[in-house]
Amino acid sequence: MASEEKSLHFIEQIIEDSLTNGFPQDKLRFRFPPEPNGYLHIGHAKSICLNFGLGLKYNAPVNLRFDDTNPAKEEQEYVDSIKEDVKWLGFNWSEEVYSSDYFQQLYEWAVAMIKKGKAYVDSQSSEDMAIQKGTPTQPGVDGPYRNRSVEENLALFEGMKNGDFPEGSHVLRAKIDMASTNMLMRDPLMYRILHRHHHRTGNDWNIYPMYDYAHGESDYVEQISHSICTLEFVMHRELYDWFLDQIYDENRVRPHQYEFARLNLNYTVMSKRKLLQLVQENIVSGWDDPRMPTISGLRRRGYTASAIRKFCDVIGVAKRENIIDVSLLDFCLREDLNKTAPRVMAVLDPVKVVITNYPEGKEELLDAENNQEDESAGYRKVPFSRELYIEREDFLEVAPAKFFRLSIGNEVRLKNGYIIKGESVTKDVNGVITEIQVTYDTDSLSGSGSEASKRKVAGTLHWVSISHAVEAEVRLYDRLFIDEAPDSHKEKSFLDFMNTSSLEIVKGYVEPSLASAKIGDHFQFQRLGYFVVDKDATDSKLVFNKTVGLKDAWEEKGKKDENSINNSLKEINKYFKVATREERIAIRKAIGETLSGISNYSLLQNSFRKNINNNKSSLLFANFILKYANLKPSDYDNEDLSKLYLMSLRSESTFVRSRAILNLSNLDYESDFVNSFKEEVLKLQSNPSKSTTDREIEFIEKFLLK
């Protein structure tokens, strides 16, 4: 029996219970069963780590089985990519098998079920079958072909197999219970006709088994002990067991299905269909585009297998669905790369620096530490000369008090080098700085031990020597979506939330030690982030992908946006207390600027809904969101809008009523939606309250005149 650990996840506990109850450990067998209809994504990585991790923990075989039962969507390319991904993640399978290996056996079992009266050929259209199947609250009814004779069913099924009938003309259904409360048990499909070429069996078959039939029976053929799948298959378990009941031999291992919560990441879509759409519409460059959540895309982006395995371990295995912050994946990656990635210097937005008191023609080789987290990484030599590149953002001609980089009259240290002081600049006809002149302290070389070298200065800059720099194409990747839940909004396409800044390509300059970098090599560009050599790199052209920044800019922006929302709500309270209209206008403009600068659709929507309540400050804030946020009227739910307008028009506050009327005035006056509030506005006109102001009456009259 496997040794007990302090903390077991629930799948491990199930296995431990099986062993405790007498199940032989040498009969444990698991499988990872992808359908080869697309590339694997980060969600599949969780399943891979779970299944293969169980194999390692219990010293049990794990099959890689391709559930290839739909030739209309499956390709050998996908098979090859899946195998590469599993190997890259660090796992080896016991057997490589395919559901198509069992097509003959599955067919024979289906024939046996027909003979036992457990299956029949249905010749209805798919539309008629859907009607006949009923609804979750209404039982289904027997179809007109449910009681065909065994002989007729066998003949039709044989004809289906032989290709005698067109697609859609017949299906084979299991005969179970049309009144079952589980709609999946209402005579589910077992086979359909597909005259398609299969990537392994060619044109041998004209009928293909449905997933629900093939999956459990394939588990049985392989003698899988614990069939682990995601929560959406909970309702399928009853059908899984029913199909096994038809073939089970008590002398063999009977598989059992167990479900766990799949991985849901924010700022990501995980649907293969949607990922395929991104590829087919050329929104991304392919399945391995570094912005894609596919394992091949993450690998090309520079994510490491160990970081992904660590991430899967940290999030754990649960029974309940939840959403994981993608920042956790990036944290695991930074933690891994911080230990292993060499530190190098690169400049991505260069401006020229000339050290005027450094001798012309002189060059030095400076010692640079490869990785301060790894003592064994050692040092390398970095060339230094009179003319350098630094980042343009690292210089301001006139700097504010807390600018800890280079400026006129101020000193900074060059990484591994000298202290320099800004003296003057040269500009082009447009006023853009083209060159910065500096002087250096000759005794301040880093690590020299001199008094000058120990002098503290405000900041340290990275740099590259111009005469030694190697030009490189650098692809600055960012998240593909700007919203935390891009595919969860009603009447909105996930494509509406594409991040137009998800890729920027720049010409950068890197230190000469990178000239020999190979595809897949990881580096930390100091002060910039982690980068990897892309597969497009050649001996004559370096190409780097940005993997991840040194800090989580999205998390910082998210917190900033949330804080901005909260602070704006506090300002709203002041709106009702200030004495003058000018003060209210200033508060309103400040809140408007804040709201217009927030692009997080979900944050705005949640804040909007949250503030539809009887509090006057909340109602005014919700109306300001309508006015200033970068959302269209169609982005809001009509029920939420109706509730807000009714509550606002009935509010005790003239400011709330006025803002609601102004917002309504900006909508289409001919619409039924706007007309539905005219009666409320008329009430305000005919029965003004004590708080009604002349401006509110003016707004009411203008609204009604339109």
Q: Which residues are catalytic?
A: 35, 262, 272
Beta bridge partners of 120: 173
Residue 230 annotated as lining a ligand binding site: yes
CB 210 within 8 A of CB 70: no
Q: What's the length of the chain? A: 706
Residues contacting 45, CB < 8 A, separation 6+: 89, 263, 295, 308, 312
Question: How far is residue 126's CA from residue 130's CA, in Å, rounded to a whole number?
Answer: 6
Residue 281 annotated as lining a ligand binding site: no
Angle 103-115/150-162 helices, nearest 10 degrees? 160
Residue 37 annotated as lining a ligand binding site: yes
Q: Which residue has the tokens 């309940």?
A: 320
Residue 42 annotated as lining a ligand binding site: yes
By the 10 Å C-beta count (0-12 exposed, 13-18 middle, 19+ buried), 664 is classed as: buried
Question: How far is residue 174's CA from residue 265's CA, in Å, rounded to a whole number?
Answer: 37
Longest Cα separation, the chain: 101
Query: Dihedral sign, CA of 566, 567, 568, 573?
Result: positive
Residue 262 annotated as lining a ligand binding site: yes
CB 599 within 8 A of CB 558: no
Question: How far is residue 119's CA from residue 198's CA, in Å, rounded to a whole number?
Answer: 25
Residue 9 annotated as lining a ligand binding site: no
- Segment (H or E) for 391: strand 387-391
Residue 36 annotated as lining a ligand binding site: yes
Question: How far is residue 423's CA from residue 408's CA, in Å, rounded to a whole number?
Answer: 5
Residue 43 annotated as lining a ligand binding site: yes
Amino acid letter, 159: G
Q: Among 387, 429, 444, 433, which Cα is nearest to 407's? A: 433
Question: How far is residue 102's CA from residue 617's CA, in Å, rounded to a whole number?
Answer: 66
The string of DSSP letters for 650-662 reads T-S-HHHHHHHHH
Q: CA-based angle 390:391:394, to the nearest 5?
A: 100
Residue 45 annotated as lining a ligand binding site: yes
Residue 489 annotated as lining a ligand binding site: no
Residue 44 annotated as lining a ligand binding site: yes
Question: How far is residue 662's CA from residue 132's CA, in Å, rounded to a whole number?
Answer: 52
Q: Which residue has the tokens 């005035």?
A: 665
Strand 460-461 and strand 411-414: the pairing is parallel
Binding residues for L-glutamine: 67, 211
Binding residues: 35-37, 41-47, 67, 211, 230, 262-263, 270-272
